[in-house]
Amino acid sequence: MQHPTRAKLITRTLRREVNRVSSLVKSGLTLLASVDSTAPFVGLFGTVWDIYHALEAVSRSVIIQIDKIAGARSARH
């Protein structure tokens, strides 16, 4: 039986580690793809939520002012 050379041992070890790290990276891609594909909808929901509350504030006020439409956050900046 021949003993593997040092170069073959190093090559085998490197391949094993590359495969291990590669599978770790690939396992996180599903979560990343899910988060990435839903992010625009979360942002859109936040925008719609703010518009809804701005319109609700306008409907409750007698005099329409820009701070009612733009919201309290915009008035502070």
pLDDT tens across 30-68, in order?
888 888 888 899 889 999 998 898 888 778 877 776 766
pLDDT of 19 > 70? The answer is: yes
Judge if pTM exceeds 0.95.
Answer: no
Query: In whole angstroms, what is the distance from residue 71 CA to residue 50 CA?
Result: 8
Say what the pLDDT of residue 24 is. 85
71: left (phi > 0), else alpha (psi -120 to 50), else beta?
left
pLDDT value for 30: 82
Q: How many CA atoms does the CB half-sphere of 55 hold within 13 Å? A: 6
> Please, which contacts does 45-51 make with residues 24 or more away whose CB atoms are closer than 8 Å?
none
pLDDT of residue 54: 82
CA end-to-end span of the chain, whole Å?
78
